[in-house]
Structure 1
Amino acid sequence: MPDRAPPGTRADYAAFHTLPTRWADNDAYGHLNNVVHYALFDTAVTLWQMEQGCFDLTGATVRLLVVESGCRYHAEAAFPDQIRAGLRLGRLGRSSWTTEVGLFANDDGTAFAEGFFAQVQVGSRSGRPEPLGEAVRAALERIAV
């Protein structure tokens, strides 16, 4: 098996969102359940997209679909930690892109988990991939590291 890459640091990410944990996020072992990591990824990515004007809540013209996701766990986190979710652009295509996310507990400088969301923009009516507009492409390029 190849060597595992070390956890990323805050300097490896371009934009951040602070997200609270909840008591219900802990599992029987007293740390964040693995499904919570994905919810944190989704929330951070969606909040950033909304701030950038890239996410239309109505889905009237286009929709952003997650087509692949993944997570590597490095350490534990638990309620009542405050999570800082760092974002960066992993890949940018014609109609799709990958946002990479690092999760940091409180003021820790090393990620306790890192993951990604690969998304594609599709037409609301056609359901087929559509090219990214210039504004969306420019927003994504701003988080390239």
Structure 2
Amino acid sequence: MPDRTPPGARADYAAFRTLPTRWADNDAYGHLNNIVHYALFDTAVTLWQMEAGCFDLTGTEAKLLVVESGCRYHAEAGFPDTIHAGLRLGRLGRSSWTTEIGLFRNDEAIAFAEGFFAQVQVGAASGQPVALDAAARAALEGLAI
């Protein structure tokens, strides 16, 4: 079996969003339930996309669909930790891209979990892939390391 990729460091990510944990995020063992990691990924990516002007809240022209996702767990976190979600560009295509996310607990320098969201932009009416415009492409390129 190949060696496992070690967790990333904060310096491996281009942008950060700070997210609180909630008491309800803990599972019976007192750490974040696995599904919470995906909710943190989704929140951090969506907040960044909204701030960068890449996300149409109305969905009248285009929609951003998550077509693949994944997560590697390295360590535990739980309430009342503050999570710092690091974002970076993994891949950029014509109408699709992958955002990689590292979750950091409080002031820790090493990620406790890392994952990705692969997304595609589709036309709201057609549901077919639509090329990214120059502004969205430039915003995403800003996440490149």
Which bracket does the TM-score occupy, shorter chain normalised? over 0.9
- SS of the counterpart of 1:97? strand
How many aligned positions are there?
145
TM-score by length of 1: 1.00
In the alignment, structure 1 residue 6 sits paired with structure 2 residue 6:
yes
Aligned-pair distance for 1:124? 0.2
The residue correspondences of 1:1-145 to structure 2 (distance < 5 A) are: 1-145=1-145
Shift in Å, 1:57: 0.4
SS at match of 1:65: strand
Aligned identity (percent) is 81
- Quick one: which amino acid aligns to residue 20 of structure 1? P
Q: TM-score, normalised by structure 2?
A: 1.00
- Hey, what's the Cα distance between the residues in 2 that align with 1:131 and 1:56? 15
- SS in structure 2 of the partner of residue 88 of structure 1: strand
Q: 1:24-76 deviations in whole A, cap 9, x for unaligned?
A: 00000100000000000000000000000000000010000000000000000
Amino acid aligned to 2:87: L
Runs of 4+ off more than 2 Å = none
Gaps of 5+ in 2: none
Gaps of 5+ in 1: none
Secondary structure of the residue aligned to 2:4 is: coil
Matches of 1:50 and 1:27, distance apart in 2:
30
Report Cα offsets for 1:2-28 as digits up to 9, x if no partner.
110000000000000000000000000
Amino acid at match of 2:79: F
Please tell me the root mean square deviation across aligned C-alpha atoms, in Å: 0.3
